[in-house]
A and B are shown apart, each in its own frame.
Chain A
Amino acid sequence: MSTIAQKRGFGAVLWEYLTTVDHKKIAHLYLFAGGFFFILGGIEAMIIRIQLIKPNNDFVSAGLFNEMLTMHGTTMIFLAAMPLLLGFMNAIMPLQIGARDVAFPFLNSLGFWLFFFGGVFLNLSWFLGGAPDAGWTSYASLSLASEGHGIDFYVLGLQISGFGTLMGGINFLVTIINMRAPGMTYMRMPLFTWTTFVASSLILFAFPPLTVSIFMMMFDRLFGSNFFDASMGGNTIIWEHFFWIFGHPEVYILILPAFGIFSEIFAVFSRKRLFGYSSMVFATVLIGFLGFMVWAHHMFTTGLGPIANAIFAVATMAIAVPTGIKIFNWLFTLWGGSIKFTTPMLWGIGFIPSFLMGGVTGVMLGAAAADYQYHDTYFVVAHFHYVIVGGVVFSLFAATHYYWPKMFGTMLNEFLGKITFVLFFIGFHLTFFIQHFLGLWGMPRRIFTYLPGQGLDTGNFVSTIGAFLMAAGVIVILINIIMTSVKNEKVGNDPWGDGRTLEWAISSPPPFYNFKQLPLVRGLDAYWIEKMEGKKGMIPAEPLGDVHMPNNSFVPFVISLGLFIAAFGVMYQADEGNTWGIPVIILGLAITFGSMLARSLRDDHGYHIHKEDLMDDNDKGVKA
């Protein structure tokens, strides 16, 4: 059952990944699946930009364009950005707090497979009669009017993958609260762990509203209820509230871990501890809290009235304060430092001005009265791409380069990495900067074409050119990953040379049990402290003993598969004359609950790695 054996066939590796409960392997799964969906969402983005390269273009039809823009947004948020971040959290956070795994390894695996099957289900819509076409926000009046099964795919797919995300969030919370190594107090936790912690609590509170609202949408569309049907006494504005009570914290679920990643990178590559650590933690928590107070700024034009609009406007602007604190703390982390321009650091350096742009337009959008002009135009499109791409995607690229050695034991090529950065950075600004102006010049968002003679032609052309540069950057990083994997040159514990936190104290990749002996943490930047005192590794906090490990399990895969099957039944039973829908629901749920039952009835106590085996394994783990 253990993963000590090294050389194995493809089938065995596949089986290992299908059944793994090891947080590091699950991180690989998240990275590959999230990366795949990222490419998919990118292709959809390119189709959108090609269609808009000139007025009256007919590259795709109006209906197909709406499917593209919906799937681009939905895929990028739910199936690419969030899973990729969850992947890095999985890979790094347990190492940073000196834990052997997350608190619930089985649940961790279940979370991944739910996300994966939800994502696959959503994307099968392309082959089964058309994708959802009401935007990623899926506003109720349009989504109820949408014909075919597109919106049903959206509702069911997100429901399944949402369960997975919720489990991931809970799991990380419990892990951070309970499994920190001796001496790792809250105020000694690395900032990536802190942001994981806050983002996980946001998931805990933000996903239930989404779950509820898409359940209601499912019942409206498939089981004849009328929650959102105004003509039957329902109300569509309720959907908007539900969606944004989830949707706004979602933005912070994405950006906070990105802040965490950059906080690590700035400290490491300027060889300085993070400036104002406690105010950084405070700002993170405050942003997370305020993130729940501002959802209605997405609805300024809905007609909530001046009192609501004014309150939400001021609350929105208030978020600028903790965000500003973070920007200046990063700058002063660099100030007086010894800055090395590695690829991850370049992404960090690019991140500051890019994200700042997105931040200031955010404050501008918060000014409700002026937002009446910005709302639902390309200005907003520009703003949230500056935040999500300039913040989150930059951090994902940075983390890919920065943590690749820790996750796979090899270094991505720095030269190619820098090429990716240059292409993507220039392309990004070329694509999105002009879109601020396009919006102000009168271009609404989500339009499949525009007429000539409205002054929108040049701006759109420039924007599309930029998109091609971004695509080129992504292709280079893919080449980089393939080349690096083929070469397979292994690196040591601390390949960047300036690692500060616990993950750099153990081998790359770490052994499956992480720490042979749990480390003793003596302050912030635990590994750095030991290095500065001339030690080679961490001081162990416990004597060498048996390590208790969980067994692999195929059950999470089966549970998720059952829901995946049931979702088809739920969707097609609403069709006229359908007879197989209900039996398929029953079959799917039987598989899910049956495997849950089997899991509950069978005692699985895991196994122990014996002390003697750990001693043989001398080149791995914490050196005693």
Chain B
Amino acid sequence: MKRLAKWRHLLLFSLLTLILSACGKPYLSALQPSGEVAQDQYDLMVLSTSIMVGVIAVVAVIFIIVLVRFRRKDEKIPKQVEGSHALEIIWTVIPILLVLVLAVPTVMATFKFADVSAMDKKNADGKTDALVVNVRANLYWWEFEYPNEEIITSQDLVVPTGEKVYFNLIASDVKHSFWIPAVGGKMDTNTENVNKFWLEFDEEKSDSDEVNNVFYGKCAELCGPSHALMDFKVKAISRADFDQWVSDMQSVKEPKKATSDLASQGQEIFNQSCIGCHAVTPDNTTPEAARQAPNLTNFGEREKIAGVLDHTEQDLKNWLSDPEKYKPGNKMSGTYGELTPDQLDALTEYLMGLKVQGK
């Protein structure tokens, strides 16, 4: 008996790991929802899957009976049945009812997710009380502008947990699609119109060890060779931390002075070759057309380099010396001359020092 119990535990344990691993990674998977939108969508998935499993079960039973019972055993000709009104009515009406059961919550959720009325409610300053982020998708990077806070960042979206965050979405070159699977379904960034929706980031899930406050974001619409590499990260932090981050960002009024000699050399190179496209101040006064590349104000605090490479000095040097190799078709390749190892060292030192929070 005891042995059996042990086996049972083992079985249970392995089943559990199987189920858990079957849910993907908590920072990426839509099956481990970490916010209101994703949770509602997950519930809708569970509802529709249950209905469908029911349908499959009915079909499976009939199917198996048919295959077992009605194999050809002799050469007799079976009775030619024309049909059955009763049966046909049953399998017309029941699916209609099932579809209705699914249709009602679907329609409700569709309207709920589209409710962005808070974006229109302006307070005395002409700003919204709700947090708004303007997302601009570019080949192959993301810009995040906070219009109320008047700051801009790129690649790492920073958001507070536990409240609705509203998004304006647009693309500046070709169509992309903005998707944070664990937090909510996607919406396209079109080239001609602004799309709006909201997401909410769950505090508890964000703080969990596996997520560690960083969700993965993806581009979901084919946009060219490096479509697969157009990742971004989402730092979901508490409201207090978020406010701190905002004020730290806002405090950068002009490009931060490099502190070491090497970094100063790097800054010089940067000012000659890079600053035409890359800003190192977060203010949002420059027009969109002039913001041709990711804003690097807090580059030293990013999760990744170019969205996909590890945030290490070596990876940064690799990236700077041959961006085409790591992100084919990107717009940075060929805009500057070849960098010597010394120049790479200097630039790396400077860029890695671009931090606003001093942690």
Contacts and interface: CB of A to CB of B under 8 A. Distances in A.
Interface of A: 61-63, 66, 134-135, 139, 141-142, 145, 230-231, 235-237, 270-273, 275-279, 301-303, 305-306, 309-310, 313-314, 317-318, 320-321, 324-325, 327-329, 331-332, 334-341, 349, 352-353, 356-357, 360-361, 363-364, 366-373, 375-377, 437, 440-442, 444-451, 453-455, 532
B91 A454 contact: no
Nearest to A331: B62
B240 to A, nearest CB: 29
13 contacts: A135-B222, A275-B82, A301-B186, A306-B114, A313-B106, A313-B110, A328-B88, A337-B78, A339-B70, A370-B106, A373-B181, A375-B185, A444-B179
B91 A328 contact: yes
Contact of B107 (A313, A331, A357): A313
Contact of A314 (B45, B76, B88, B107): B107
B284 interface: no
Nearest to A317: B99
Interface of B: 21-25, 28-31, 38, 40-41, 44-45, 48-49, 52, 55-56, 59-60, 62-63, 65-67, 70-74, 76-84, 87-88, 91-92, 95-96, 99, 102-103, 106-107, 109-114, 169, 171, 173-175, 177, 179, 181-182, 184-188, 190-193, 195-196, 216, 218-229, 231, 308, 328-329
Nearest to B75: A338
B185 to A, nearest CB: 2
B72 A338 contact: yes
Contact of B102 (A62, A66, A331, A363): A363
Contacts of A327: 59
A369 B106 contact: yes
Nearest to A311: B107
Given A237-B193, A271-B78, 19 more contacts: A63-B329, A66-B222, A236-B175, A272-B81, A301-B188, A303-B188, A306-B114, A320-B99, A334-B66, A337-B70, A339-B67, A363-B52, A364-B52, A373-B30, A376-B179, A441-B30, A442-B24, A446-B222, A449-B229
A336 B81 contact: yes
A370 B92 contact: no
Contacts of B96: 321
A303 B329 contact: no
Contacts of A324: 55, 91-92, 95
10 A-B pairs with least C-beta separation? A372-B185, A441-B24, A447-B228, A369-B109, A303-B195, A276-B83, A360-B52, A306-B114, A62-B225, A442-B28
Contacts of A231: 191
Given A314-B103, A338-B70, A440-B30, A272 B226 contact: no
A145 B66 CA distance: 54
Contacts of A318: 99
A440 B31 CA distance: 6
B309 to A, nearest CB: 10
Interface of B, secondary structure class, is mixed
A242 B56 CA distance: 34
Given A63-B225, A363-B102, A325 B88 contact: yes
Nearest to A142: B174
Contacts of B102: 317, 363, 367
Contact of B63 (A353, A357, A363, A364): A353
B232 to A, nearest CB: 13
Nearest to B222: A446
B70 A303 contact: no
Nearest to B327: A62
Contacts of B114: 305-306, 309
Contacts of B99: 314, 317-318, 320-321, 363
Given A331-B66, A532-B77, A441 B48 contact: no
Contacts of B227: 66, 444, 446-448
B72 A62 contact: no
A170 B219 CA distance: 42
A349 B68 CA distance: 12
A516 B32 CA distance: 68
B171 A141 contact: yes
Nearest to B180: A442
B48 A363 contact: yes
B224 A441 contact: no
B51 to A, nearest CB: 8
B44 A325 contact: no
A301 B177 contact: yes
A479 B220 CA distance: 41
B92 A145 contact: no
Contact of A313 (B45, B103, B112, B220): B103
Nearest to B60: A353
A346 to B, nearest CB: 11
B228 A139 contact: no
B192 A273 contact: no
Given A139-B221, A142-B223, A441 B81 contact: no
Given A364-B45, A370-B48, A335 B70 contact: yes
Nearest to B55: A360
B343 to A, nearest CB: 28
Contacts of A446: 222, 227-228
